[in-house]
Chains A and B, each alone.
Chain A
Amino acid sequence: MKMSRYILIGILLGFILYKSEAVSWFRIYEMFRFQSFHMYGIIGSAVVSGIFIVQLIKRRHLKSAEGKEIVIKDKIRTYPRYLIGGFIFGIGWALAGACPAPMFILLGAGNTVFFVYLVFAMTGTFVYGILRKKIPH
């Protein structure tokens, strides 16, 4: 089935972030205290490999599974939204010790309190949708 592949990708993502301890509140605290290379190693090596992959896709004009050329859209070039939005996101990340992917993984691992996080994250997204036109982008 076509859709089951996405579940498999999600399972892989779950294993990566769980087994590398990136889902740990303590690891996020440690990262923001600059007391270990671990999290920087994960993000850094992901980005270095990612740059290599993206350059390969662009230069070789790699095709997707459907036979179309893979296009990676450029992000819109404004600044306030990335800085302010990123700042707010960072506050939440350090408080809860989990960004969105680890939240789903921890729910599966039995930390059911993250259901509260999920409901509030949806609320936050909803409030953003309402305020969107009134805040600087």
Chain B
Amino acid sequence: MLETLFNQFRDFIGQPWPWYVAGPLLAFVMFILLYFGHEFGISENFRLMCAADGADSMNEFFKIDWRAGEWNLLVALGAVFGGYLASHYFLGSQNDLAHISEATVNSLNNIGIKVHQGTVPLIPEFISWKGLLSWQGFIMIAGGGFMVGFGARYAGGCTSGHAISGLSALQLPSLIAVAGFFMGGLMVTYFIIPFLFK
């Protein structure tokens, strides 16, 4: 009885979540953090980790009490656990698939990324340790990480801090930051990625 209930619950959670479930839940995460006195912003953790690793003695930007950001580091740690749980116990019948549109599948095939509708994984094979050994993979993983870390602090926030928290609070700077995210992302998607897979 209890087992059936648990299995039903697991199958329910294991379905792909539609956008209208994910979006409001993200706002709920933001609200819960505000209720506990904190602002949702994941990229701040990179700064905290730098400070905790000794950068505080090298540069004043990192002279922060990283222990005051412990809550945020724990959210990031929780996200690691969440990723583990979701991917190991709540995959559902759909497995690890990305249900992208037919148009996207065609676009990918056109630029030389071979995928088939219905078997598209969440993470492409070039985002892997093996992929990292090619210069293209290195640019995407290491270069991408560097740009994200640099750009997020420069802009004062990432997707959670600007696109969700900032826009929710009707902050014009966040709208500008999001416009910047899209300018960078569009440039890469239309010009750099096709070049990488040529």
Mark A residues whose CB is within 8 Å of B: 3, 5-33, 35-54, 57, 62, 64-66, 68, 70, 72-79, 81-101, 103-114, 116-130, 132, 135
Residue pair B142, A64 in contact (C-beta under 8 Å): no
Chain B residues, Cβ within 8 Å of A7? 74-75, 77-78, 81
Chain A min CB distance to B66 (Å)? 13
Q: Which of B16, B24, B144 contacts A93 (CB 8 A)?
A: B144
A to B CB contacts below 8 Å, 19 in the list: A11-B78, A14-B80, A18-B86, A19-B15, A25-B123, A26-B122, A33-B103, A51-B170, A65-B37, A82-B177, A91-B185, A92-B143, A92-B146, A95-B144, A106-B123, A111-B123, A114-B141, A117-B144, A120-B145
* Total A-B residue contacts, Cβ distance less than 8 Å: 497
- The secondary-structure label for the interface of chain A is helix
Chain B residues, Cβ within 8 Å of A74? 169, 171
Residue pair B79, A20 in contact (C-beta under 8 Å): no
Residue pair B59, A130 in contact (C-beta under 8 Å): yes
Chain B residues, Cβ within 8 Å of A76? 156, 173
Chain B residues, Cβ within 8 Å of A108? 79-85, 87
Q: How far is the CA of A129 from the CA of B62 in the complex (A)?
A: 7
Interface string of B45-78 (1 = CB under 8 A from A): 1110110010100010110000000111011111
